[in-house]
A and B are shown apart, each in its own frame.
Chain A
Amino acid sequence: MKKDLLVVFFVVLAVAVLIMGTEFQSVEEYYLTHADEITEDSDTVYFSINCENAVSSGKLSESQLKELNNGEILKEKEYVLLDGESVFDMLKRVCRFEKIHMEYQGADKNIYNSAYVQGINYLYEFDCGETSGWIFLVNGKQTDTSCGKYKLQDGDKVEWVYSLDAGKEFLK
């Protein structure tokens, strides 16, 4: 009997640790964020999310097309850049503020900052074939680091675009 109690105790402990480590938020709580107001001396970044080529590729289902609004998910808009923010931090913050669905994979807070964006606004990687997925351009160019590592500067122009061919169509 003692052994049984011990096992039950450890199981309860493990479950408790698991629940304590999980953060639960209601929908209102999650979206309750506000962007900082743009003042004269604040750093700003131009941000846009676009998937026009995915919409015109004809490979998406009707229910997906209904959500995508002709591919313009977020029109170019100026946002305040916080100190030392990466492209991924910015995307997360903007999506939360604009109530856009976004899913990512990997840890953004480890030393490698290896976050990978799987889907934005219900449009996921591989939805338009094997080489399709979300990539980002800074000032119209692809970078050689991941979005979690790339630190932004004042006046940068960030575009999240959906590539059909592993980013080759955005090479210039």
Chain B
Amino acid sequence: MNRFLKTHPVSMLVYFISVIGISMVCKSPIIQLISLFGAASYAVWLTKGREFLSQLAFFVTLFLLISVTNPLFVHNGKTPLFFMNGNPVTLEAVICGMSIAVVIISVILWFSCMTRVMTSDKFYFIFSRISPKLALVFSMALNFIPKLKKSYKDTEKAHKTLGIYSTDSRVDRLKLKLKTMSSVVSQSAENSIETSASMNARGYGDKKRTSCFVKKFTAFDFFVMVISLAVFTAEIIFMLNKTLAFEFYPTFSKITIEINGVIAYSGCFVLCFLPVIIEITESLKWKYFVSKI
């Protein structure tokens, strides 16, 4: 079951823009954590957990790297942990680094979910009426990374059959991998020229070309769109009236639980977990109907 995949492209785009916008702009650590867990749970749902687990090592290293790097360059903060070459390494800078890392990881996760759900034909459907050239560039850019991955795998296999990787040394193998990578990149640069010529010949980028995408704007799409826009504007208002304001330096501002804050957090929770909630209710419905038959 994948109900969210069948949402209308426009409301899907609105949803992703608002959720990524909030998680990028908001400084409140609670909102950041909600966004991270929402993105992670949807990524787990989409990939059935397997791919997410293989990415987990990358995310953990990224998290550690950023949270260690920030205190090396920022020495602001009231509670020094120890001094390094006469400069304080402070708790505030460490926690600030962690929050930056959480934001970066959650945005990466949201984008990875987005590329899975918003396929290039949907992008073309939305943008072809506004600017066909932009739509073409968008869909080609989205297609680029998976294509590069596949072509890298193929090239590596070809190299393996040539016996290039038969060396014991890890350093040599790394060097050979870099060589494969450079050949793949130059190949893709070559391909891009051919692709653009061939797409032009097929009439892409022309305003008269229509795209066929059979999709009606249903009540469900309207519901997704209204929720995204409402929560987005509400969070912006809460950010402006300082309910969600948070300062790291010179020391952490206190998080007090007021009625405004609770509304802001629960709104963000609903928005970030919306796809997962939809999927779970749909699959529950499915099971219920199946058992009836």
Contact = CB atoms under 8 A, between A and B. Distances in A.
A and B are partners in one complex rather than unrelated chains: yes
Contact of B168 (A1, A25, A30, A61): A1
A145 interface: no
A7 interface: yes
Nearest to B251: A63
B78 interface: yes
A94 to B, nearest CB: 14
B82 interface: yes
A67 interface: yes
Interface string B85-112: 1111000000000000000000000000
Per DSSP, chain A at the interface is: mixed
A27 B80 contact: yes
B171 interface: yes
A1 B253 CA distance: 53
B78 A67 contact: yes
Contacts of B169: 1-4
A61 B170 CA distance: 53
A23 B169 CA distance: 36
Interface in B26-76: 75-76
Contacts of A30: 80, 83, 86, 88
A124 B249 CA distance: 11
Nearest to B242: A62
Contact of B83 (A2, A4, A24): A24
B219 interface: no
A3 B171 contact: yes
A64 interface: yes
**Interface range for B:** 20 to 34
**Interface range for A:** 20 to 34
Contacts of B86: 23, 25, 30
B250 interface: yes
B172 interface: yes
B154 interface: no
B82 A122 contact: no
B247 interface: yes
A59 interface: no
Interface string A122-156: 10100000000000000000000000000000000
A26 interface: yes
A88 to B, nearest CB: 12
B189 interface: no
Interface of A: 1-4, 7, 22-27, 29-30, 61, 63-64, 67, 101, 103, 119, 122, 124
Interface of B: 75-78, 80-88, 168-172, 247, 249-251, 253
Given A1-B168, A63-B250, 4 more contacts: A22-B85, A23-B86, A101-B78, A101-B88
